[in-house]
Structure 1
């Protein structure tokens, strides 16, 4: 008896599961029809524009139901979205359908009264084609099938089949501002120098909804990032934001994130990337930075905060520069859309601080929101315009021998570092104001007591402006056209905030926002000067010498020359 009861129970369970699964399919036959669907003859087809068997999560697509000839017409239609079934986590014996996204009607349609996730005709006028929108579901929903019914009359109608059914699965690649596939086997021998340029386009004209009322308030933070190895992650969707990214996204403060990057220089990171952010009346000014890559550190990650915002930022993560054919990417322009750091639950630019607890993972800012307090209220992804663009350009390459070649030739003997005429066989990182402290002969910081700019106020003290950098750019036809920069630092309790000094004690000093907005701490200007055609060769020789560059000082710094001279004298002794 027990065995028969068990068999009956299993049969009943299978019947219920089958019934529940099949009941998720909607009856799309025309109203009043008593006939069965005719086999599709190919005269009508369903298309999802911009999708090639895959969809990007939360992306809005245009769906077209059209005829394939010049004569056919129809009076009724139903387009439905169906997701895959899965076990209910609360009741594994029950099957439930996942969210297939949302279909939205246009002028010739309306939401269906009888089918979920469906759109049908709003009138019985003859039609040759119809359009509607489909917003794809969030990530992790698997495949979605769009099915169409098209009726020429109550008795003649078609559904399903290849022309009227489209199955789309989640595209595991990412949107515009995320790297293509990572080349884990990058074998390019030459090293490369790149320039990255950020141009913001967040403005009242382009993004008018709930744009901050005060024109002086919106600004972009400094651009901060790194060129790094494939096993290093500064930030990525699905990961929790670090303290540095949280501080950047919520307060447009880059200090903590820069410190996190500096700690990893030489251990997964080659170059700290930084460029000056812009605010009132300068929002559209470009921000530029130069960085170096090699076949170990061939990815870049950058971030730029939107201020004010809950915790929103722009950027690219793990963007691959080493192409599949083992050459360096020449140039790329990338549209940037907002990311959510997952640390604040505000929904608009000027929302009050609402800490997200527990912290969420980094993800896209919610588009097509149904909250009227959101800047993206009922917005289609296709209508969202970029908040900025990132332009990555290869400036030059530095010829290097591949490691395999060196091994075959027996390898060059390692030069002892104690010889004064040879300070190291490896080429240093790109000379940068962000990497090297002002170092004296004893290896300790030799900076004189910090001066205060007399033109600054007591409320917002700053150091005086440093010297202009040398003109950076490419030498072409005897003329170098580029830019040069200088900087100063905000002082908080006598500490130069954001000035790198490895010998200084860690601090969490933050510059008051009104001081950041009122006083620039970074200036950049275009420059032009004559140059020798063989200057690049001279530069390679100079860079092969591991020399420490004093921040704010040019290559010909007397302090650096004195430092080298003292080291050489000590080595001789």
Structure 2
């Protein structure tokens, strides 16, 4: 009886070892499938319209707002419909070479090659969508796209122009709720830093970040540096820079044609977006450090006066704090008096 029991234990151990080896081998050839993601069981594909609306105004973002060479504007939108096991980009993760080139230069060639490779390797990408650039901080761009039950997620990216490597976008927006496609989705968009360029301002020269940082959301207090174009210490949160609305539309057999030229509108649309014109972000005055004290001017034997000055770095706007005094004086006694 003991002999049979010992053989049974040996057999069970061998069985578990074989299963472990088979699972390890399988893991080398296939991507893991997430098990905590709700499955979409909708019966057919769905078609959506996408509207991107810029909210980048001088009133909402008065600090260093770009007015020329180039003025504030948005790149074209590049997006994907995909399954839950794919990410075009992720917060707190490193940007791919494709995302880096798009965030820094607006070039999408490498990004498209990465998407193509992912689609061939794990069949995770269903379709690519694009919308034209917006010449202005507050224009609109539109496009339409299709999603399937296995590829029910949307990701996209839009470069902020000008900027070192900043962008807005979304990572893995689910368009399906169980067996139903969502009718309407609205997304407020905030700036992200791709972590590949170390510039602080919209017009900073290229300065590669070595080693590369992870993608981080830019806030009113991060990066915590007064030179940062988005540094507004009086705000708890930045206002949204843009907004995307997704609307499910009735499917047709019509071929979708995308405009190839940038849109020329630089005005906020009327209707539900009109309240955005009321956003006024207070911008406090910023001044330089004090200069050294000047020469002491006065008669020998008597007290004199010396001055120091500072200058305005940033004028206040939207009821921000006024500038302090730009000149000070103090009493002194002349040196080297004969």
TM-score bracket for the superposition, by shorter chain length:
0.5 to 0.7
1:97-118 deviation line (CA, Å, top 9, x unaligned): xxxxxxxxxxxxxxxxxxxxxx
- Give the Å deviation of 1:326: 2.4
Match of 2:220 in 1: 367
Alignment of 1:99-498 (within 5 A): 183-214=37-68, 216-265=70-119, 267-279=123-135, 282-323=136-177, 325-369=178-222, 370-380=224-234, 382-396=236-250, 485-487=258-260
Asked if the contact 1:230/1:318 (under 8 Å) is kept, the reply is yes
Change (3 A) 1:389 1:348: same
- Cα distance in 2 for residues equivalent to 1:390 and 1:486: 18
Structure 1: which 5+ runs fail to align?
A: 1-181, 399-429, 432-469, 473-483, 488-519, 525-573
- Cα distance in 2 for residues equivalent to 1:216 and 1:199: 19
Structure 2: which 5+ runs fail to align?
A: 1-35, 266-338
- Cα distance in 2 for residues equivalent to 1:268 and 1:201: 32
Alignment of 1:516-531 (within 5 A): 520=261
Change (3 A) 1:356 1:205: same
- Cα distance in 2 for residues equivalent to 1:383 and 1:302: 23
- Give the Å deviation of 1:247: 1.0
Match of 1:71 in 2: none
- Cα distance in 1 for residues equivalent to 2:95 and 2:156: 14
Partner SS, residue 181 of structure 2: coil
- Cα distance in 1 for residues equivalent to 2:42 and 2:164: 41
- Cα distance in 2 for residues equivalent to 1:285 and 1:522: 7
Partner SS, residue 244 of structure 1: helix
Partner SS, residue 158 of structure 2: strand
- Give the Å deviation of 1:258: 2.7
- Give the Å deviation of 1:486: 4.6
- Give the Å deviation of 1:185: 1.7
Asked if the contact 2:133/2:262 (under 8 Å) is kept, the reply is no
- Give the Å deviation of 1:308: 1.1
- Cα distance in 1 for residues equivalent to 2:235 and 2:168: 16
1:335-363 deviation line (CA, Å, top 9, x unaligned): 10001111111111111222111111111
Change (3 A) 1:380 1:523: closer
Tell me the matched-pair count: 228
Asked if the contact 1:220/1:252 (under 8 Å) is kept, the reply is no
- Cα distance in 1 for residues equivalent to 2:160 and 2:72: 8
Partner SS, residue 250 of structure 2: strand
- Give the Å deviation of 1:288: 1.1
- Give the Å deviation of 1:299: 0.4
Match of 1:494 in 2: none
Match of 1:64 in 2: none
Asked if the contact 2:143/2:258 (under 8 Å) is kept, the reply is no
Structure number with higher relative contact order (C-alpha < 8 Å, ≥ 6 residues apart): 2
Change (3 A) 1:186 1:385: same
- RMSD of aligned alpha carbons: 2.7
**The structure with more radius of gyration:** 1
- Cα distance in 2 for residues equivalent to 1:224 and 1:294: 19
- Cα distance in 2 for residues equivalent to 1:371 and 1:220: 25
Partner SS, residue 102 of structure 2: helix
Change (3 A) 1:242 1:391: same
Partner SS, residue 115 of structure 2: helix
Change (3 A) 1:521 1:348: closer
Asked if the contact 2:220/2:237 (under 8 Å) is kept, the reply is no
1:158-184 deviation line (CA, Å, top 9, x unaligned): xxxxxxxxxxxxxxxxxxxxxxxx843
- Cα distance in 2 for residues equivalent to 1:378 and 1:199: 23
- Cα distance in 2 for residues equivalent to 1:213 and 1:289: 28
- Give the Å deviation of 1:385: 1.1
Change (3 A) 1:383 1:239: closer
Change (3 A) 1:194 1:380: farther
Change (3 A) 1:199 1:522: closer
Asked if the contact 1:184/1:230 (under 8 Å) is kept, the reply is no
